[in-house]
Structure 1
């Protein structure tokens, strides 16, 4: 079933409103998928972005999709093949570092809500022209961070963002304080050392702290 840009943005806005932080996850071991997802969901972060940067990423999505209360998406979507594979694995939304017409066409045709990336006013305006008003701002810090988003928000108040890339506990609250930011993406809630050592309680604690940001 296909999806319009407007419907995709509406769905992604609903997803982004579920928690202030979306964990950006790079998982190398499928056995970590379910306990990691369960820890993050228990900690109050139900939306999970699994990046397609490891050979087991699609299997990780399949496992995380089984976790009650979780909303699992696929990140780093770049090609039509990525989109098809993500949907087949059970991804409920997609995330891309940028946007191309081919990628947007594919997501719309296959019915996957895409959180498309923009790093400039022109990129954001082009996506808005197509019907997307809920975007990823990437790479956030390298693209000017909070001051840039604040400046873009003045002439383009109808566009909302999920900044990702360099967002950390030290600056997340500043991003979340902006009226055009719905949530932010961050990897600090699932550091590789804690994941690899199976310290799910500590990850749950990091998630719980992150879930309170911006309140």
Structure 2
């Protein structure tokens, strides 16, 4: 089960979900505070660095304004560890039988990635209504999602991968897009330099894209 009642408010609460990688727990906390101050409360901390789980736990403990999820979840061990760290939602680039089984046994909502028509039909049969579309630009982008809309009317997407300030509004204008995921709101250089005010400004700009 996707636990849609928990997932939907997170994804509809802001037009852009920041997709970030951090190297320390302190980085994660400061970043989450900066993003929340700009209006992006939900944040996806990817499991691409050794500090990811510590960062998620620290954000959950120290940044009550944030809604911290875990991304780049590749297997059940990732899923369970992210839930134990306090993740409020789980994001994966794809879906496997093992991940779907783990999600079925968890109260934490799951946003799995799917792209091809066969994958999308399979996820609909599993009861999923909202999916990550990844990598968005490389998989056909706006034209692809536009073509899917009249055929798979029950599905909504969060496109991620190649989404930027230049095309985010175009994605958000599609009837089957509920939000987008992007890393541009938290550039690595700004994180490393501790330029949190600039990240807050980027977040505020992104938060206004759904208006």
Task: Give the alignment's TM-score, normalised by structure 1.
Answer: 0.95
Equivalence for 1:48: 43
Give me the TM-score of the superposition, normalised by structure 2.
0.97
Following superposition, the deviation at residue 187 of structure 1 comes to: 0.1
Structure 2: how far apart are the matches of 1:152 and 1:95?
22
Which residue of structure 1 lines up, in the alignment, with residue 59 of structure 2? Answer: 64
Query: What does 1:129-168 align with in structure 2 at a 5 Å threshold?
Result: 129-168=125-164
Using the TM superposition, give the Cα deviation of residue 9 of structure 1 relative to its aligned residue in structure 2, in angstroms: 2.9
1:163-215 CA-to-partner distances (Å, cap 9, x unmatched) read: 00000000000000001101000000000000001000000000000001131
Q: How far, CA to CA, are the matches of 2:70 and 2:103 in structure 1? A: 12
Gaps of at least 5 residues in structure 2 are none
Question: Aligned match of 1:211 in 200, 207, 211?
Answer: 207
Where in structure 1 do 4 or more consecutive aligned residues deviate above 6 Å? none
**Would you say how many aligned residue pairs link Structure 1 and Structure 2?**
210
- Equivalent residues in 2 for 1:163-182 (5 A)? 163-182=159-178
Q: Does 1:12 align with 2:7?
A: yes
CA distance in 2, matches of 1:214, 1:35: 25
**Separation in 2 of the partners of 1:27 and 1:16?**
22
Aligned partner of residue 212 in structure 1, secondary structure: helix
Q: Are 1:32 and 2:24 an aligned pair?
A: no
Hey, what's the Cα distance between the residues in 1 that align with 2:79 and 2:187?
26
Q: Distance in 1 between matches of 2:76 and 2:45?
A: 17
Deviates most, 116-125 or 162-171: 116-125
Q: Secondary structure at the match of 1:142?
A: helix
Q: Which runs of 5+ in 1 are unaligned?
A: none
Residue number among 8, 16, 21 corresponding to 2:16 in the alignment: 21
Q: Does 2:181 align with 1:200?
A: no
Question: 1:93 corresponds to which residue?
Answer: 89
8 A contact 2:16–2:40 mirrored in 1: yes
> In angstroms, what is the RMSD of aligned CA positions?
0.9
How far, CA to CA, are the matches of 1:85 and 1:148 in structure 2? Answer: 34
Deviation at 1:44, TM superposition (A): 0.5
